[in-house]
Amino acid sequence: MNDTIVILGAGLAGLSSSYHLGHDRCVLFEAKHHAGGHIHTEFVDGFTWDEGPHISFTKHQYVRDLFAESVDGEFLEYAVETGNYYQGHWIPHPAQSNLFAVPEPLRSACLRDFHASRETGTDELPANYGEWLHKAFGATFAQTFPAAYTRKYWTLPPERMTTDWVGERVYYPSVDDVTKGAEGPLPEQTHYIKKIRYPARGGYMSYARKLLDGADIRFDHELTHVSFADRRLLFANGASVTFDRLVSTLPLPVLIERSDAPFAVREAATELLCTSLLVVNVTADHPTARPENWVYVYDEDKHATRINCTEKLSPHNAPDGKTGIQVEVYFSKEKPLAESHHDVAAKVCRELVEMGMIESMDRIESVHTQWLRWANVAFDLPRRDALRTVLDWLEGHGLAREADELAPVDDWDTKLGAAAPTGQSIILAGRYAQWKYYWTDDCVLRGADVAACLGT
């Protein structure tokens, strides 16, 4: 395989790398029977299910066009309504600028602490996400809402997370927004995602059609060992190939664990924390019960963390008059799964009834789960050092290093025009390979970047 560029993994980053390098120059090895990775869509009894809710809110025209062409222009574009659920109360999103819907006496306590934190706050940078939350929102709101959500979604207390990933993902409100939002709805919503696009038919995977067309993918090839010294790959089906140039989109801890890396590097890779996700898909024989596209659940006694209805993404995603509710429940080594998938799903169904999203247990028609070992890369305090140790070792084997490799996000506006590192033979691409907060547009753009590194 000396002239061919070997790509590990046929998720979006792998497909995009192959597309931008030229499919005729690449071969992709994929563990599963299908491509798409985390954007794979499945179809069950008339329902369309993505692997967790996927929507496109990219600001990059290149990706917008590529996705639009993939579905022949048949996508839906709409403003989204996002909600929060807290102990029986429905609060518009973001809750910090919609305190009017928070019950008393909690509302007044949030408001009082918010003003106190803004009046007494110093210019000192917060040492962790917990401090950031207190500074941004005051103690009561921080503890009741985002800190509770962080423990559910990231499976960590916010004090153990950094702030470099936050950007505009968590809305930092003005004093005016919070004060006026405690009296009634603001004239304009303040969530960072305002309009989204989603394929009219075929689920989110349809957006990868253009990248997929013509790709040379060897399915059922699970990498079991990589020797960087010998530049050889071994697969679970017995196949073995050598490589000169390698693009890996596999989760970095998997690549390292299955390699000839020394003990200290393998140890560092095990420190990289990623959540796992149990997706619970529930169908009921009645229409959607709520107006929100998706809902964040703050109650820590509930498994449900984020909820969306597949028919709200596209009406073609479910049979008429029925609802398909997808619930995300997160785990990690910090919050191990202690029940069976069946027991978690059963509890989630009771929660949906309690929340009024399903009318009663006997209206439920089906329940099925999907387990995603790799869900969200956690931006915890040890991440940077552990990642640097792994990348330092890979550099000795030809890894292309980048100035922003430790940053959780990439600034594509600056990066794509700038000179990429060239002459290297190992490239990491994608959310779990680079250990970043990548959305689908980042994975597509990283593919273009990979082509710039390896030459077109």
What is the rounded distance in angstroms from the CA atom of residue 75 to the CA atom of residue 64?
Answer: 11
Which residues, 185 to 214, sit near ligand FAD by CB under 6 A? none
Binding of residue 272 to ligand FAD (CB under 6 A): no
Q: Pick the closer one to ligand FAD by CB: 257 or 362.
A: 257
CA quadruple 316, 321, 322, 326: dihedral sign? positive
Give me the phi and psi of 210, to 5 degrees please. -65, -35
> In terms of C-beta density within 10 A (0-12 exposed, 13-18 middle, 19 or more buried), how is residue 124 classed?
exposed
Q: State the minimum distance, in angstroms, from the CB of residue 86 to ligand FAD.
A: 22
SS3 376: coil
Number of neighbours of residue 424 by Cβ within 10 angstroms:
16
Q: State the minimum distance, in angstroms, from the CB of residue 57 to ligand FAD.
A: 7
246, β-bridge pairs: 6, 426
Binding of residue 180 to ligand FAD (CB under 6 A): no
Binding of residue 410 to ligand FAD (CB under 6 A): no
CA quadruple 384, 390, 396, 400: dihedral sign? negative
Q: Pick the closer one to ligand FAD by CB: 137 or 432.
A: 432
From 59-67, 89-97, 141-149, 433-441, span contacting ligand FAD (CB under 6 A) = 433-441
Binding of residue 30 to ligand FAD (CB under 6 A): yes
Site size for ligand FAD (CB under 6 A): 36
Binding of residue 39 to ligand FAD (CB under 6 A): yes
Strands 26-29 and 217-218, bridge-based pairing: parallel
Binding of residue 9 to ligand FAD (CB under 6 A): yes
> Number of helices and strands (H, E) in the chain?
16, 19
Binding of residue 8 to ligand FAD (CB under 6 A): yes
Among 443, 445, 448, 453, binds ligand FAD (CB under 6 A): 443
Q: Pick the closer one to ligand FAD by CB: 182 or 212.
A: 212
Q: State the minimum distance, in angstroms, from the CB of residue 56 to ligand FAD.
A: 6
Which residues, 111 to 170, sit near ligand FAD by CB under 6 A? none
CB 233 within 8 A of CB 29: yes
CB 70 within 8 A of CB 444: no
From 60-68, 152-160, 400-408, 436-444, span contacting ligand FAD (CB under 6 A) = 436-444
Where b means 16+ CB within 10 Å and e means fewer, 179-206 reads: ebbbeeebeebbeebeebbbbeebbbbb
Binding mask 375-404 for ligand FAD (x = CB under 6 A): x-----------------------------
Q: Which residues bind ligand FAD (CB under 6 A)?
A: 8-14, 29-32, 37-39, 52-56, 221-223, 249-250, 254, 277, 372, 375, 430-432, 438-441, 443
